[in-house]
A and B are shown apart, each in its own frame.
Chain A
Amino acid sequence: MPLTVAGIGCRASGDDGIGIALVEGLPDPGPGGDVELVVWENADALTLVAELLERHGPVIVADCSDMKAPPGTWRFFDTASAVLRVSPRNLSSHGLGAAEALAMARDLGFTWPVYVFGVQPYGVAPGRPMTPAMRARLPELVRALNRTIRRIVRRSSAEENASCRMPSN
Chain B
Amino acid sequence: MTGPTYTIDVHHVTRVEGHGNIRVNVRNGEVEDVRLMISEANRFFESFTRGMRPHEIPWIVGRICGICCVGHQLAATKAVEDAQKIAVSDQTKLLRKLLNDSQFIQSHVLHVYFLAVPDYVGVPSVLPLAKTHPDVVRRALALKKLANDYTAVMGGRMLHPMANTLKGWRKLPDLRELEKIRDRLVAAVPDLQETVGTMTSLSIPPYERETEFVSLKHPDEYALYDGLVYSSDTKTSVPVSEYRNVTNEFTVAHSTTKWSRWHRESYAVGALARVNNNFDQLRPEAKEAAEAMGLKVPCFNPYMNNVAQVVETIHCAFNSVEMIEALLQSGLAEEDISYKPTAGRGFGATEVPRGILFHDYAFDGTGRCVDANAVIPTSQNINNIEQDMRAFVPRMLPDLSRDDITLRLEMLLRAYDPCISCSVHMLDVEFVD
Say whether B15 faces chain A, with CB atoms less than 8 Å apart. Answer: yes
Of the candidates B14, B131, B145, B148, the one whose C-beta lies within 8 Å of that of A91 is B14
Min CB distance, B106 to chain A, in Å?
Answer: 10
CB pair A93–B134 under 8 Å, yes or no, is no
- A54, closest chain B residue (CB): B145
Give the nearest-CB partner of A106 in chain B: B130
Closest to A91 in B: B125
Evaluate contact between A90 and B125: CB separation under 8 angstroms: yes
* Set of chain A residues within 8 Å of B127, measured between Cβ atoms: 86, 91, 100, 103-104, 107
Q: Which residues of B contact A53 (CB under 8 A)?
A: 138, 141
Other-chain residue from A50, A93, A95, A100 in contact with B142 (beta carbon distance below 8 A): A50
Binds B, one of A30-38, A41-49, A71-79, A152-160: A41-49
| B197 interface residue per 8 A CB criterion | no
Q: Are B124 and A89 in contact (CB under 8 A)?
A: yes
Given contacts A104-B137, A108-B138, contact A92 B17 (CB under 8 A): yes
Contact B17 A47, beta carbon cutoff 8 Å: no
Interface size counted on chain B using CB atoms at 8 A: 26
Residues of A within 8 A of B15 (CB): 90-92
Q: A86-B127, A91-B126, A93-B115 are in contact. Are A50 and B17 (CB under 8 A)?
A: no
Contacts of A91 in B (CB 8 A): 14-15, 125-127
Total CB contacts across the A-B interface at under 8 A: 65
Residue A94 CB within 8 A of the other chain: yes
Q: Quick check: B115 and A46 within 8 Å, CB to CB?
A: no
Find out whether the CB atom of A104 lies under 8 angstroms from the CB atom of B144.
Answer: no
Q: Across the interface, which residues of A come within 8 angstroms of B114, CB to CB?
A: 46, 93
Question: In the complex, are the beta carbons of A93 and B159 less than 8 A apart?
Answer: no
State whether A90 and B148 are in contact (beta carbons under 8 Å apart), knowing that A42-B159, A108-B137 are contacts in the complex: no
Measured between C-beta atoms, what is the minimum distance from B17 to chain A in Å? Answer: 6
Give the residue name and chain of the A residue nearest to B130 (CB).
A107
Residues of B84-129 whose CB lies within 8 A of A: 110, 114-115, 118, 124-127
B159's closest neighbor in chain A, by CB?
A42
CB-CB nearest in chain A for B131: A107
Return A128 CB to nearest CB of chain B, in Å.
16
Interface of B is mostly: helix
A13 to chain B, nearest CB (A): 13
Contact (Cβ within 8 A) B14 A108: no
Q: Are B157 and A46 in contact (CB under 8 A)?
A: no
A109 at the interface (CB under 8 A from B): yes
Expressed in whole angstroms, the Cα–Cα distance for A44 and B158 within the complex equals: 10
For the complex, give the distance between the alpha carbons of A44 and B145 in Å: 11
- Residue interface bits B138-153, CB-to-A below 8 A is 1, else 0: 1001101100100000
Contacts of B144 in A (CB 8 A): 46-47, 50
Complex CA–CA separation, A42 to B157 (angstroms): 9
Q: Are B115 and A92 in contact (CB under 8 A)?
A: yes
B422 at the interface (CB under 8 A from A): no
B16 at the interface (CB under 8 A from A): yes
Other A-B contacts than A88-B124, A91-B125, 16 sampled, CB-CB below 8 A, are A41-B157, A42-B159, A47-B144, A47-B145, A47-B158, A49-B141, A53-B138, A89-B14, A89-B125, A92-B17, A93-B67, A104-B126, A104-B127, A104-B130, A107-B131, A108-B137
How far in angstroms is the closest Cβ of chain B from A142? 24
- A residues near B141, Cβ cutoff 8 Å: 46, 49-50, 53, 108
Q: How far is the CA of A53 from the CA of B141 in the complex (A)?
A: 9
- Hey, which chain A residues are within 8 Å of B130, CB to CB? 104, 107-108
Q: Is the CB of B14 within 8 A of A92?
A: yes
What distance in Å separates the Cβ of B68 from its nearest Cβ neighbour in chain A?
Answer: 12
**Interface residue ranges of A95-114 to B (CB < 8 Å):** 95-96, 100, 103-104, 107-109
- Whether B17 and A42, one on each chain, are in contact in the complex, defined by CB atoms closer than 8 angstroms, is no
Residue of B16, B137, B142, B159 near A92 (CB, 8 A) is B16
A-B contact pairs, 13 of them (CB 8 A): A42-B159, A47-B144, A47-B158, A50-B141, A50-B144, A53-B138, A53-B141, A88-B124, A90-B15, A92-B16, A92-B115, A100-B127, A104-B126
Q: Which residues of A contact B157 (CB under 8 A)?
A: 41-42
C-alpha spacing A14/B289, complex, angstroms? 46
Question: Closest residue of chain B to A100, judged by CB?
Answer: B127
B124 in contact with A42 (CB, 8 Å):
no
Chain B, Cβ-Cβ closest to A109: B134
Tell me the minimal C-beta distance from B157 to chain A in angstroms. Answer: 7
Minimum distance in angstroms from A58 CB to a CB of chain B: 20
State A107–B67 Cα separation when bound (angstroms). Answer: 26
Please name all residues of chain A whose beta carbon is closer than 8 Å to the beta carbon of B159 when the two chains form the complex: 42, 44
Closest residue to A52 on the B side, CB-wise?
Answer: B141
**Which A-chain residue is minimally distant from B125 (CB atoms)?**
A91
**CA of A8 to CA of B14, assembled, Å:** 27
Interface centre among B14, B141, B158 (most CB of A within 10 A): B141
CB proximity of B195 to chain A, nearest CB, Å = 16
**Chain B residues whose C-beta falls within 8 Å of the C-beta of A103 in the assembled complex:** 127
Closest A residue to B140 using CB positions: A46
Q: How far is the CB of A52 from chain B (nearest CB, A)?
A: 10
- Among all A-B residue pairs, the 9 with the closest Cβ atoms: A90-B14, A107-B130, A50-B145, A50-B141, A91-B125, A104-B130, A90-B124, A42-B159, A107-B131
Chain B residues with CB under 8 Å of A90's CB are 14-15, 118, 124-125
Q: Which residues of A contact B115 (CB under 8 A)?
A: 92-93
